[in-house]
Structure 1
Amino acid sequence: MSKKNTRGVKRNKASSSRVNEDPGSDLEVEMERQSRRSARARSDTQFDTSKFKSSVTAMHYGRLRSLRFIEERRVELGSNEFPDFQKELEERGWMKLAKPPRYFNHEVVRQFYANSLFSEEAKEQRKSWVNGIQVNYDKDTINNCLGNPWDPHTDDEDDLCDYQTQELKGMNHLNGFSKDKVRKKLCIEGLDTTKMKGGIYRACMKQLPLIWMNFLVTNMLPSSHVSDLPLTKACLVYSILEQDSVNIAAVISDHLAKCIGNGVKSMIFPALIHELCKLHNVPMNADNELPLQYPITAAYIQQNCKENDLDTAKAEFARKLHETQPEQPEQVPPTHEPQSSQMDQILSQLQHMQEQWSEIQSQQAEDRVQRAEDRLLLQQGVHVC
């Protein structure tokens, strides 16, 4: 039997086997596919309504599992350790801010952030939901949670502190703050900060501003960027050192709203959110608790807030300037040839190129004529050498 006939037999056997199959098998396959599609659809629409406002916020919760927490730090100093820093905290009524709970419930914090993205209305009204209970994070609620450190001067809802007033002035491209005054207040005396660009370098700061910086980037305006102090954050440290009034509850509420408005890149204020949930009587499971970062102790300050001497600060300042200075493009040495001479040279080159092109065209035309004559002679039977 030929190979062709063999292939035909095989095709006939395959066709016969398909005919003999159970006709209901195709229906069963299709029903299985529909079942799987329905299961996927249910998984997209089904969610725990006791925890999440929608399937979208439930998906946000899953995404948040890959994000990091920026935990607060507790201030744990002896009564005689760094008294200027501690005195300022006490006089401003910020002791609850400095003494957050040692643990936070990571489950309720993730729920808070997931449901805070529920709608634009929720963002505008600064509210979220945890375990089905609404949790507000407006300035008045946060002020209450922190023990009411801000005592408004009037009943006006827009009553602003000195720091907020300066922010709204909008002068000198840094709100109402003077860049030079801010840098001079925070930097080591004798250091020329006029060439400083961008934020304030840690190596150039005095010890007390450094302590406030470390407290600020975890408990007041949390950030993962700690290599230097951006000027927008430096202004808050400046206001504190200048004894300006600061409505810290409003500052925190604005920063939290900004974080949520930007889609939540990291989960800030976990201990504060834990306390806000307690304030709203949200039920919590103690098994879901995580500890805060290492506290601000005397040992921590000596290691992370050490003030450099002037020479070291100058050397670090120079190194930073060199790192941030953009590379200069390679300079092309200027030509000393007069402009008119350059033009004459260019025109001469163009004329020479034109003459060469004319010669090429003439030669090509002669070649075409010669080939035509050769073809004619060949047709006439004349041999062409």
Structure 2
Amino acid sequence: MPIEDEPYSFTTMVRGRALGFDRDAINEYLGNPYQLQGDDGLCPYGHALARGNWNVQAMTKKLLMPGCTFRCNRANQPLKVMRDDMKVKVQLVLLFIYYNLLPRSHFSDAPMNIAGLLYMVTAGTDVDIARVISNEMKAIACSGVIDFSRPKCPLAYPALIMELIKKERIPIPPLVHEHLGVIDDRHVVRHCKAKQPEQQQLEQEQQAPPHPAGPSIDPTLQTWFYHTWDQNAANYRAMTALHESMYQLHLQGPVMNPPDFHAHNNWPRDRPQFGEGVGTSAGAGVGADGDDDDVDN
């Protein structure tokens, strides 16, 4: 690791020996596909990445399906683009980038740096791939991840790392080969096709039938309910009047006489009467066989 302002050495230790993974070493391994140009040695993608001013309008037209846009942050700055919003061919290029150039733990979206690389590649612009890989390996080496029991993504650049180790003649254990799958039409249909929206259920779901009207109430019970409610209302008025009278008495005011008190409360006079078949004896309870006993003799 560099100390303070020292430049990064792009060197790591493998089995006690230094192994360089700088841009020139990787470019040589790739067959020198890109020749440095200019004083800074940056390709067009490197310049755009350093400035950070992406041509979002051109990228949207080139990469995304009609009607789709970049996802923005709270400051309305472009943040990323979803893979499902990309054109099918662009999704294939994105998968190639994720599997070979910039490994990631998930492929559902592309941040601006990867979206910019995707735009440059699909537009046919020259890209210094060796520098892209070298900077990515630097980011991995500087990430400080020490718990490898649950890796978040596959090992990045295994073939490149092994070739660099062989070139430095560093002893390595026996190789373990793994066969990679083929990207065919079936793979494209599964991973790259635009997902169709879910079909509406039975033409936007048939309208539910109106709720049936509430069950009819027996007229006898309804009459009793009304009588009880009237009784409760009268009790409320009586208690209110009693409280008001006591309050007025406290203020040396007049107290309501009994006739005015009864007129104010307006209690129901008589119980409701029911005809034959209603069961007056069962419904009336005590006193159903005759007149109610007088309270005051």
Instruction: Pick the TM interval, shorter chain.
Output: 0.5 to 0.7
- Look up the equivalent residue of 1:301 and give its one-letter code: V
Matching residue of 1:276: 164
Aligned positions of 1:314-353 closer than 5 A: none
How much has 1:308 moved relative to structure 2? 5.0
Residue 213 of structure 2 corresponds to none
> Aligned partners of 1:195 and 1:280: how far apart in 2?
44
Contact 1:184 1:193 (8 Å CA) reproduced: no
Structure-2 residue corresponding to 1:183: 60
Does 2:129 align with 1:253?
Answer: no
- The structure-2 alpha-carbon separation of the partners of 1:125 and 1:285, relative to structure 1 and needing over 3 Å to count, comes to same
Secondary structure of the residue aligned to 2:45 is: helix
* 2:192 corresponds to 1:305: yes
Q: Letter of the aligned partner of 1:224 in structure 2?
A: S
Quote the Cα distance in structure 1 between the aligned partners of 2:185 and 2:31: 26
Compare relative contact order (CA 8 Å, sep 6+) and give the higher one, 1 or 2. Answer: 1
Alignment of 1:72-221 (within 5 A): 119-120=1-2, 124-153=8-37, 156=39, 158-169=40-51, 175-189=52-66, 191-193=67-69, 198-221=79-102
State the shift of 1:282 in Å. 2.1
**2: CA distance, partners of 1:168 / 1:216:** 20
Please give the secondary structure, in 1, of the residue aligned with 2:13.
strand
Shift of 1:295: 4.2
Q: Deviations over 1:109-154 (max 9, x none)?
A: xxxxxxxxxx436992111232333211000001011111112235
CA 1:202 to 1:247, structure 2 compared with 1: closer, same or farther past 3 Å? same
Where does structure 2 lack aligned partners over 5 or more consecutive residues?
74-78, 201-297
Q: Residue by residue, what CA displacement relative to the aligned partner does 1:54-105 show, whole Å, maximum 9, x if unpaired?
A: xxxxxxxxxxxxxxxxxxxxxxxxxxxxxxxxxxxxxxxxxxxxxxxxxxxx
Secondary structure at the counterpart of residue 200 of structure 1: strand
Question: Which of the pair has more CA radius of gyration?
Answer: 2
Closer, same or farther in 2 for the Cα pair 1:192/1:237, shift >3 Å? Answer: closer
CA distance in 2, matches of 1:139, 1:301: 33
Question: After alignment, is 176-185 or 201-210 more displaced?
Answer: 176-185
Amino acid at match of 1:138: D
For the Cα contact (< 8 Å) 2:71–2:81, is it kept in 1? no
Q: Distance in 2 between matches of 1:296 and 1:150?
A: 27
Q: CA deviation at 1:271?
A: 2.1
Q: In the aligned structure 1, how far is the partner of 2:82 from the partner of 2:140?
A: 25
Going from structure 1 to structure 2, the CA distance change for 1:151 and 1:292 (only over 3 Å counts) comes to farther
Structure 1 vs Structure 2: percent identity of aligned residues? Answer: 29
Cα separation, 2, equivalents of 1:228 and 1:127? 31
- The CA deviation at 1:242 is 1.8
Question: What is the alpha-carbon distance in structure 2 between the residues aligned to residue 226 and residue 291 of structure 1?
Answer: 21
C-alpha separation in 2, matches of 1:292 and 1:129: 28
Q: 1:209, 1:167 → 2: CA distance?
A: 20
Tell me, in whole angstroms, the C-alpha distance in 1 between the residues paired with 2:105 and 2:191: 15
Q: Quote the offset at 1:220 in angstroms.
A: 0.8
Distance in 1 of aligned mates of 2:144 and 2:7 = 11
Say if 1:292 and 1:259 are closer, same or farther in 2 by CA, change over 3 A.
Answer: farther
Query: Structure 2: which amino acid aligns with 1:165?
Result: H
TM-score, normalised with respect to structure 1: 0.43
Contact 1:126 1:137 in 2 (8 A): yes
> Is 1:243–2:243 an aligned residue pair?
no
- Comparing both structures, which one devotes a greater share of its residues to helix? 1
